[in-house]
Amino acid sequence: MKYFNNVLDSIGNTPLIKINKLCSETKAKVLAKVETTNPGNSVKDRMALKMIEDAEEQGLIKPGGTIVEGTSGNTGMGLALACIVKGYKLICVLNDKQSKEKMDILRAVGAEVVVCPTAVEPDDPRSYYSVSKRLAEETPNSWYVNQYDNLSNRKAHYESTGPEIWEQTEGKITHFVVGVGTGGTISGVGKFLKEKNPNIKIWGIDTYGSVFKKYHETGIFDENEIYPYITEGIGEDILPANVDFKIIDAFEKVQIKMLQFIQENLPEKKVFL
Ligand SMILES: Cc1ncc(COP(=O)(O)O)c(C=O)c1O
């Protein structure tokens, strides 16, 4: 019989699917690595499991302990699956811009969900960074994952996502394009691919309202670049340790700007930002 021993063993080995219609204007072959086929429905399953396994190895989590993390929802889902299998409790701290569905599904898989305001500075005590840290300090036998600075995150992609892409493309990949949030995916995959072939270009997708593109191009952390935006999961108002700017060749910014979104979609409502 062919089966996985538990849900965690089914993470990874996701398919590459050719994008035909969306990319019909380019001669390039554009392939999407469809990470939604992971059991938690996103690429984050890979790093969530790796961060927990490394923490277990280092003795940072004890049996029956509580895992605390600030997440846009997808890391939370990966952590939740691992917590179910391994018997840990989970507290997920989310921004109020994340969809209600993400909050509901995290609760459905057993996590406690704490919601924080998006539109505050990272070092504000109400921010989701500060609240996650505080909850970890206050909760006995707990461990704060910190996907931004926890380097097991990018290691997961160096060990699994990168090699899969290299093998699936038979080493013919020329450009890797990916959204950048914590930077784990781009840095781990990018490092692996550049070690195989330094000519492969690594392009990051950033959002308006995020600091990455300007920092990469100028070395300046420009607070004027920061404002609230709708896009979930990518772009940051901090520089996570997982972003390895050296291996990234270029950043491109994508919409959606929150103000523009509101003006286009809710023109009849008065909105104060
Ligand atoms: C679905 C999804 N894709 C991509 C990203 C960004 O990936 P990374 O954090 O590895 O830079 C995120 C981050 O939260 C995400 O939730």
CB 178 within 8 A of CB 254: no
Q: Is 44 a catalytic residue?
A: yes
User: Is the pLDDT confidence value at 271 over 60?
Assistant: no
Q: How far, in Å, CA of 122 to CA of 133, rounded? A: 12
Give the pLDDT score at 264: 58
Predicted confidence at residue 198, as pLDDT, reads 98
What is the tens place of the pLDDT at every residue in 144-165? 999 999 999 999 999 999 999 9
Distance in angstroms (rounded) separating the CA atoms of residues 78 and 84: 10
Instruction: Answer whether 185 contacts ligand 1 (Cβ < 6 A).
Output: yes
Picking from 110, 121, 104, 58, the residue whose alpha carbon sits closest to that of residue 84 is: 110
Domains of the chain, residue spans:
44-144, 151-273
- Asked if domains 44-144 and 151-273 share a fold, the reply is yes
Kind and range of the H or E run holding 129: helix 128-138
Query: Using a 6 Å cutoff on CB, does residue 183 contact ligand 1?
Result: yes
Give the nearest ligand 1 atom to 181 CA. Answer: 11
pLDDT (tens digit, 9 = 90+) per residue, 120-145?
888 899 998 899 999 999 999 999 99
- Our mutation pick for probing the ligand 1 site, out of 182, 187, 211, counting the most ligand atoms within 8 A of Cβ, is 182
Ligand 1 atom at minimum distance from 147 CA: 9
- Residue of 265 and 226 predicted with greater confidence: 226
Work out the average pLDDT over 34-52. Answer: 97
Q: Per-residue pLDDT for 39 more than 60?
A: yes
CA–centroid distance, residue 42 to ligand 1 (Å): 8
* Fold annotation for 44-144: Rossmann fold (3.40.50)
Percent of the chain at pLDDT > 70 equals 93
How are beta strands 16-18 and 31-33 bridged, if at all?
antiparallel
Q: Which CATH number fits domain 151-273: 3.40.50.1100, 3.30.420.40, 1.10.1740.10, 1.10.3720.10?
A: 3.40.50.1100
Q: DSSP per residue over 36-48, as a string? A: GGSTTSSTHHHHH
Contact status, residue 47 vs residue 77, Cβ threshold 8 Å: no
Q: What is the mean pLDDT of residues 161-182?
A: 96
Q: With bands split at pLDDT 50, 70 and 90, how would you rate the model's confidence at 265?
A: low
Average pLDDT, the chain: 91
For residue 270, the model assigns a pLDDT of: 42
The residue contributing the CA closest to ligand 1 atom 13 is 233
pLDDT digits (tens, 9 = 90+) for 214-260: 999 999 999 998 877 777 788 988 999 999 999 999 999 887 554 55
Report residue 273's pLDDT band, with 50, 70 and 90 as the boundaries.
Answer: very low
Q: Which entry of 33, 44, 194, 257 is annotated as an active-site residue?
A: 44
pTM score, whole prediction: 0.90
For residue 189, CA distances in Å to 21, 91, 194 come to: 26, 28, 9
Residue nearest (by alpha carbon) to ligand 1 atom 1? 42
Give pLDDT, residue 269: 45
